Every structure is written in structure tokens, then in C-alpha cells.
Structure 1
Amino acid sequence: MRLRGVRRSRNIEDRRRSGGGGKAGIGGVGLILVLAIGYFAGIDVTPLLQQVPQQSAAPRDLSEAEQQAADFSARVLGTTEGVWDRIFAEQLGAEYSAPTMVLYSGVTQSPCGGASGATGPFYCPADAKAYLDTDFFATLSQQLGAKGDFAAAYVIAHEVAHHVQNELGILGEVNTLRQRASQTEANALTVRLELQADCLSGVWARSVDGLLEPGDLDEALNAARRIGDDYLQKRAGRVPQPHTFTHGTSEQRSRWFARGYKQGEVAACDTFGAERL
């Protein structure tokens, strides 16, 4: 992805200098991998986390790699701001209010609960912030096999897409429905929510087409497949159980991303009205 010269977003809250707690014991990348699989596959890893020694949160300097990750994240976030400003005005007749992205290392706190990586990258509607442990980029590439800068950009775009859903009132409506539903029904609603975010990520990708390099689209599609519920449950040694899915299968995630990219319209991302996911 060609990001040189792209405006950096100012909506970045970098908490990583406060320390890197929560990475002792298993090791940084290993722990993030366990946590990521726990999040995406719906596996409770709390007992494992409780056995991991915690480091003190002493102030520290950021490594060159961490600084580069912050620069990358700020530039990608900047592209989402430009894209959604325009799309809200042109397609929705509304004004877009951009989210803040919190960069953290190991552990942090949010109004939606503590973040330790067990949540994976996530969006909290209570404070309209997206939370990202930048070590997750290494997890994508080295552990999950989703290599390339556009795979990482897709992760950011996906969390911003949840903010778009929040701006449109979709998150609140789905949350109300989930509270009245059974666990299986609530999971099914969550799958539709996540696939819509994948589709909206595709809409964003279509809008930044001029920044894409050869192979970028394939990187995003591969990333979507690598974090499908069925793939991650298999990777965790489990037989895929569709009733526990919360993000959709690898095929569904990549297909809905591709749909958003091909059509470039928010209206194309109505997963809640779709008979076939």
C-alpha cells in the first residue's frame, strides 16, 4: 500500500510508553497468538491468562518497529477518515465523526472492559475508540499467515467499519436484539454484524484503490480467510461448530469483503437483509 505522503490521522492515542505488561511467561508473539485465536474462535482463554505473570508498567521508549507501526496505523486511519467523510456525504447524506484509535502494548483499559489482547483488535462504542495492540500485525504475518501491509490495513479498516456501524445506529440495534435472543441467535446476529464490517472494509478498499499496489487486494482477502471462525477453530484443534461462530467462515468473510470492494456502496453491505451469508 502506497502510504508515503498520505496524511497521518491526529486521532491516535498511544499508550504504549506506559509499559508492556502481560507478555511475560508465554512470550510476546506466542501470547498474542493465543489471545487472537481465543477472540476470533470464541474460545475462553481466561484460565490461561490468569497463569501468565504480569510485568510492571514502567515507562519505556518505543522501538523503531513500534514507531513504524504507529506511523502506519496513523496513515491508514487517515485514509479511512477521508473515505468515510466523502461516503457519508455522498451516499448517506450525513456527516461522519471519526473515531480515535488507541495503540497499546499488552494490556489497557476501556469502558467496554479491560483489553489484554484476548479481545483482539476491537471497537468500543462507549467511547467511540478502536483498540489495537500493534503486535497483532506480527501475529497476522508470522503466526496466522496473513502477510503484507494491506492485510494489516484491513484489520484497521475493519475496526473503523464498526465505528461506521455505530454512527449509523446499527450497533445499538443489534445489541438490543442480542439481549433478547438465545446464545445461538445472538451469535448469528454477531456474524451478520462482522460480515457487514468486512463488506464496509471492502468499500473503503475500493475508495483507496489509487494507493493499492499489486497483490494488496489478495493480501486482504487472504487475511479475511485466515481469521474465519472455521479456520481458527481448526487451528485451535477443534471441530468447527457453526452455532458458536461470531465472525463468519473464511469463505464468507472474504466474499463479503470482495462484495464491498466490487460495488463500493454502503447499500451493498446489508448483511441483515441477506438470505444467504
Structure 2
Amino acid sequence: MKWIGRRQSDNVEDRRGMSGGGKAIVGGGFLGIVILLLSIFGGDQVQQFLPALEQLNQNQSTSQPAESRVLTAEEEKTGAFVKTIFADTEDIWGKIFQENNMQYQEPKMVLFTDAVETACGSATSASGPFYCPGDQKVYLDFAFFQELQTKFGAKGGDFAVAYVIAHEVGHHIQTLLGTSEKVRQLQQGKNEVEANKLSVALELQADFYAGLWTKYNQQNLDLDDLDEAMSAAQAVGDDAIQSRMQGQVVPESFTHGTSEQRKYWFMKGYKTGDIRQGDTFAEMN
């Protein structure tokens, strides 16, 4: 992606030089990976796993003093890249909201290493990237992207990072438009299968918003950027994750959508460039 020399966001807080937040994971193993898979690209849904994640931390952590260190040159570069992508989300969503006679409220982003405190509770890198509606912040640990390639078989690349950020900002859009709150209300009283269907629709809409953002940002794309996004979407489909981790697929337990669904909705956002085409809930019925 073409990003060097462009505007960087002032809404990114880089905490990567502050290690651990007073805790260090000892082991973690398979259980930590499972929690990562459950909450991958989690958006609002990550909140339901945070209590269990905190309990896991208590059981598998040892206290140690928080440490500060100087970021490496590579870390500084990735931070600049993220700030540029986040600035793109601010500019583009500001434009889209203005086109629809609305005022965009910019979220913030926190880059962290190992562990972080949020308005939604404590989290570690095992929670994957997520958006917390309580403080309207996107949280990101770059360890996730290594996992995306080594454990889930994604192609990687800078636009895989951009896709993840755009997806999480999509959850912010849902918060601003009231969609997330409506889904939470609809999920009350539903059985697990029906509640999961609503979660899938919410996640697929965030993928649609990521594709829509990409359409508006296409002048900055490189030739292989869409392939990188599709590879990431393929890797984190519920069916792909379940097949890889447990050897079987259970559609009733899906919370984020299949690989094909995630790719379809991203590309629908990209091809249409029209926010009104993102009613994933209507197509789930």
C-alpha cells in the first residue's frame, strides 16, 4: 500500500514500549490459542470472552514489574504505517458521513504489547485485535499478524493489517449508527443459535465497511493489496478456523461467518462503494 509521506493520525496511542501491564503469561498453550480464535476480529463480541480471558490470566500469570523500553526502528515504522491507515479511516469515514448528512466521531487506537486495560475489561494479546465500544477505541497487538500467517495460513502483507484496522473501525461505525446496540437487544432472549446468527451478520457488516473504506481509498492501493485482504478473510472464516483447530465444522456455532461470506461482503463493499448496500441482516434471514 502507498502510505509513506502521507498524513498520520493523532488519535493513536502507542503503548508498545510498556511491557506486560504488570502481568506476564506463563505457558498459555492451546487454551490461549482457542481464546484468540474465539475473539479474532471480535469487535463488540470480544466483551463476552473478556471475563474468561481475565480468569485465564489470573491462573496462568505471574506478577512482575512493568518495564519500559525504546521501540526498535521496525516498530517505529509499523507505528507510522498504522497511524497513516487510521488517518485514512478518519478522512474517508468523515467524507462518507458528510455525504449522508451526518457528523463522524473519530475513534482512537491503542497499540500494545502483551496486555492492556480497557473500558471493556482487561485483555491480552490472546484476544486479538478488537474494538471496545465503552471507550470507542481499537486495540491492536502486532503479535496477531504473525499468528495470522504462521497458524492460519494467511498471505500477510501490509494490507492485511489495513483490513484488520478497517474491520475494527467498522465496529465503531456500527456503534455510532446504533447497530451494535440493536443487535445486543435482539440477542436477549434468543437461543444460542439465533444469537450467533446476529453476531455473524454484525461481523459481516464490519467486513462490508472495510471493503467500502477500501473502495474510497483505492488510489493508495498496490496491485496485490486486495489479494492480501482476501487471504486474511479466508484465514479467519469460522469454517476455516474450526476445520484447522478441531477437524470439523459446526455451522450453528459460527459467530463471524464463513471464509466465503467474509470475502463476499468485503468485496461487495469494495465493488458497490455504497453504504446502503451493507444490510447483512436482511440477507441472513
**TM-score (norm: length of structure 1):** 0.90
* Aligned-pair CA distance for 1:274: 1.4
Superposition map of 1:45-194 within 5 A? 46=53, 49=57, 50-53=59-62, 55-90=64-99, 92-146=100-154, 147-194=156-203
The 3-state SS of whatever aligns with 1:131 is: strand
List runs of 5+ in structure 2 lacking aligned partners.
none
Residue segments in structure 1 that go unaligned for 5+ positions in a row: none
Query: Pairwise CA RMSD of aligned residues?
Result: 2.5
The share of aligned pairs that are identical, in percent, is 43
Q: Is the 8 A contact 2:125 2:143 kept in 1?
A: no
Q: How many residues align?
A: 274
Counterpart-to-counterpart distance in 1, 2:148 and 2:24: 17
Counterpart in 2 of 1:10? 10
**Paired amino acid for 1:248:** G
1:89 counterpart letter in structure 2 = Q
* TM-score normalised according to structure 2 size: 0.88
- SS of 2:122's partner is strand
**Residues 190-225 of structure 1, C-alpha deviation per residue, up to 9 Å, x if partnerless?**
100000000010000111101111111011011011
1:37 is matched with: 37
Q: Note the C-alpha offset of 1:131.
A: 0.8
| AA at the equivalent of 1:170 | T
Whole-angstrom distance in 2 between the partners of 1:196 and 1:38: 18
**1:23 Cα deviation after fit:** 5.5
Offset of 1:54 from its aligned partner? Answer: 5.5
Distance of 2:124 and 2:13 partners within structure 1: 17
Greater Cα offset, 101-110 or 266-275: 266-275
Alpha-carbon deviations, 1:111-163, whole Å to 9, x = none?
A: 11111123211111111111111222222233323211111110000000100
| Pair 1:210-2:219 in alignment | yes
The secondary structure found in structure 2 opposite 1:274 is helix
Counterpart secondary structure, 2:8: coil
- Whether the 8 Å contact between 2:201 and 2:284 is mirrored in structure 1 is no
Q: For residues 2 and 117 of structure 1, what CA distance do their matches in structure 2 show?
A: 28
Query: Residues 113 and 141 of structure 2 are in contact (CA less than 8 Å); yes or no, is this contact kept in structure 1?
Result: yes
